[in-house]
Structure 1
Amino acid sequence: MISESVVAQEKLTIATGLKPPLVSSAAHKGFLDTLAVELFRRINIDLEVVVVPAKRALVNANSGVDDGNLLRIKGLEKSYPNLVRVPETIFSSEFIGYSMKQSQLNGDWKMLTDYNVAYVRGWKIFENNVPNRENSIVVGDATQMFNMLKEGHVDVALYEKWQGLFLANKVGLTNVHLLEPPFVRLNMYMYLNKKHKLLIPKVSRELIKMKQDGSYQKIFNQTLGVLLNR
């Protein structure tokens, strides 16, 4: 007789509020959902990644409606006590500037003072660090921001590196400059609902193996790396 716990582990659902190219769209295979599906396949679990609004993704994972959350910062369990972090970093998010001209910002927030800057409303990492609000434009969505950059209405657009590069390509910004190093680099983690806490060591070990055997980098190159060549 097969135990209920084994049956429950045959298929898991992990939620996320991420956008392409970190998750898949109709036209582009996403990095993190592709990685996660392969990661769980290696431990004989059929994983489905569902995209829902970010807040709902957290609530559903914490309540057990879904089995986990795909990508969040360290310490999330303080606010969502039913979530357990997979200790191995799954991704590092980089928050950078985009410009039509090459600029040497050197990852220094203070150097934004001399530029007209745009960022998306609600992105606390920018709201809390951009030094000169008088030169800042807060927009409702990222596509609007990159169109403003394309039309010369702002000097620097602030966003997450890979989602920004995806949108820049989408709106036809072929000569955009990524202003690196990033202002902030954050290690990010997967979380599972505590009912699956016994899976955590196995998931973490397999993620480490994927980094060591080259499969992590291969998926990265096929999904995110290709954006650098467009």
Structure 2
Amino acid sequence: MRSVPHTTPRFGAMTGFVLSVAAVAALCLAFALSCPARSPYRIGYNPGALVSVEAKNRLAAVYERAGLPVEFVPMPEKRSLYLAAEGALDGDAGRVAGLESRFPAMVRVNVKLMDFCGAAYVLAGRDDVGGYREGMLKGMKVGSLYGIVWADKIMKGRFLEQVTSYDALFSMLLEGRIDIVLCSRSGAEKAIAAHPGRYGGIRQLEPLVYREPFYHYLHRNNADIVPRLEKALRELHAEEHWRELDGN
């Protein structure tokens, strides 16, 4: 009689392999659970500046889309920038381009959050003033808010009456103490809408005085998340997530 060679069933080997894979998966899961979640990225913003608040609001959606935790820290504008540049904060909510030339530790998320727009305002009865044009400010008394850098640049060293609120600014215009106002369009529109009876006689000149894209900046230690944030921003813009006017 011919002998039949004995073979070991493969079931036991396969069972061992499956158990090994399951054990490795369990170890990986246990390791992941044992590691603490990444603490939120701390981003500074200025609660007193509408453009900074809008940047913060948009970034909340951007970080959520990117799957990144974030915490927004209210503070004065300059303090936010300096702390971010030192690495004490992870980033600053929004700035115009070029910040990295003065603060090399800062990295730009190179997809704009929005456009930052500045405009000129006069009394509606000023028939002698048509649209805004370069050079028209030379013979006028000009007012603005403290901290508006682009207004200082436009004035080129000439006197600029500066105050701390839109109410004070528009009151000076109504009282004839200044001839024209330079300020953020979004801030002016909000102030006028809040007091239509009082400020209804104020009109914006066209074209805009200033328009620049506004970007999110991070400390270079967080450069690894820039691609994720840029991808999230592109997606949200493509979806028209934010209602865009002609800038902000």
Q: TM-score, normalised by structure 2?
A: 0.73
Equivalenced residues, count: 211
Aligned partners of 1:34, 1:200: CA distance in 2, in Å?
18
Q: In 2 relative to 1, CA 87–132 (structure 1 residues): closer, same or farther, beyond 3 Å?
A: closer
TM-aligned CA deviation for residue 87 of structure 1: 0.5
Q: Does 1:154 align with 2:178?
A: yes
Does the CA-based 8 Å contact 1:121-1:138 persist in structure 2? no
Give CA deviations for 1:129-153 in whole Å, capped at 9, x if unaligned: 23794xx551232332122123333
Aligned partners of 1:174, 1:145: CA distance in 2, in Å?
15
Q: In 2 relative to 1, CA 6–83 (structure 1 residues): closer, same or farther, beyond 3 Å?
A: farther
Q: Does 1:189 align with 2:219?
A: no
Q: In 2 relative to 1, CA 32–132 (structure 1 residues): closer, same or farther, beyond 3 Å?
A: closer
Aligned partners of 1:54, 1:5: CA distance in 2, in Å?
35
Alignment correspondent of 2:41: 12
Q: In 2 relative to 1, CA 141–214 (structure 1 residues): closer, same or farther, beyond 3 Å?
A: same
Alignment correspondent of 1:80: 103
1:174-185 mapped onto 2 (5 Å cutoff): 174-185=200-211
Alignment correspondent of 1:210: 236
Q: TM-score, normalised by structure 1?
A: 0.79
1:5-84 mapped onto 2 (5 Å cutoff): 7-8=37-38, 11-17=40-46, 19-23=48-52, 30-84=53-107
Displacement over 6 Å in runs of 4+: 3-6
Give CA deviations for 1:189-210 in whole Å, capped at 9, x if unaligned: 1011112111101101110111
Which has more radius of gyration?
A: 2
Gaps spanning 5+ residues in structure 2: where?
A: 1-30
Gaps spanning 5+ residues in structure 1: where?
A: 24-29, 226-230
TM-aligned CA deviation for residue 170 of structure 1: 4.3
Does the CA-based 8 Å contact 2:51-2:116 persist in structure 1? no
Give CA deviations for 1:135-192 in whole Å, capped at 9, x if unaligned: x551232332122123333221111111222233445413421212112211121011
Secondary structure of the residue aligned to 1:98 is strand
Kindly report the root-mean-square deviation, in angstroms, between the aligned alpha carbons of the 2 structures: 2.8
Percent identity between matched residues is 20
Alignment correspondent of 1:228: none
Aligned partners of 1:153, 1:170: CA distance in 2, in Å?
22
